Amino acid sequence: MKQSEENFLNMVHSVLDTLKKNQSIWTSESVIVKEVNAIERDYNQILGSLNHHSRLDSGVHYDTLNDNLNSIIRATIKLCRRMYLYARLHNDEIIRKLVDHSESTLANGSERTVIRRCHTILSRAEWTYYYLKPYKVSAIQLTRLHNLINDYEQSHGDRSKISKMSHRPTVSHQITELKERLTILDDLIKGLIKSSIFISEYNNSRIIIDYRETLKTGTESLFR
């Protein structure tokens, strides 16, 4: 593992520790709770990979699904977090109820049910794109998800094109996914939490210390 990846994981540990110490501030926001749980799960999965565990207890339904559907679910849950932030701040109960998913609830049911659920969320995002743009929902993001769903639909009839084996991503890929989750969490906390003291403490925990350079110069560097 690269030094930069080790530094990143040390930062994630610090973030989770800060969140646990301040649970009373953010646990009333269900979307933050879901994202924190997902971050902690992914962090533990990475540690498991590094320790060469033969099995990773993720507890997530979609781990047994094919890779194509996996990608759709992950892309949709990211979109859900952005849409939820908009709905929460604008009191849009229709969108809030539509996107208030954990990853396990989004992936619950048959593959066809999951695809329909994701497509419904995507369609609503496309209809309300103008209002979602300030919440970092991009046309590229929607197009990618649209293409993922289309590709799945086209290949669904030919099961030979879809891997039936559970995909085990590389640590680097897992870290990339975790970085994206933390970026979403940053925006959720900034948008939904009012405590300036907690936000300051959280931001401090997001500082990545380059331990290799610190040993040489005592300096710190900040990455996102």
Query: pLDDT-based confidence at 54, cuts 50/70/90?
Result: very low
Owner of token pair 């005592």: 218
Owner of token pair 């997530």: 60
182, 152 Cβ separation under 8 angstroms: no
Residue-by-residue DSSP string for 54-69: S------GGGGS-HHH
Measured CA to CA, the distance from residue 114 to residue 112 in angstroms comes to 5
Instruction: Give tens-digit pLDDT for 98-133.
Output: 999 998 899 988 888 899 999 999 999 999 999 999
Q: Identify the helix (H) or strand (E) that includes residue 95.
A: helix 93-99
Q: Identify the helix (H) or strand (E) that includes residue 34.
A: helix 30-50
Q: Considering only the C-alpha atoms of the chain, give the largest distance between any 2 of them, rounded to a whole number of Å.
A: 59
pLDDT computed for residue 169 by the predictor:
61
Whether residue 58 has pLDDT greater than 50? no
- The structure tokens listed for 3 are 């030094």
Phi, psi dihedral angles at 183 (to 5 degrees): -60, -40
| Contacts for 33 with CB less than 8 Å, ≥ 6 apart | 26, 27
Whether residue 224 has pLDDT greater than 70? no
pLDDT computed for residue 170 by the predictor:
77
pLDDT computed for residue 221 by the predictor:
45
Instruction: Give tens-digit pLDDT for 130-172.
Output: 999 999 999 999 999 999 999 888 876 555 444 443 445 678 8
Q: What is the mean pLDDT of the chain?
A: 83
In terms of Cα–Cα distance, which of 180, 199, 197 is closest to 189? 199
Measured CA to CA, the distance from residue 214 to residue 64 in angstroms comes to 42
36, 185 Cβ separation under 8 angstroms: yes
Measured CA to CA, the distance from residue 105 to residue 61 in angstroms comes to 9
In terms of Cα–Cα distance, which of 137, 167, 144, 63 is closest to 152? 144
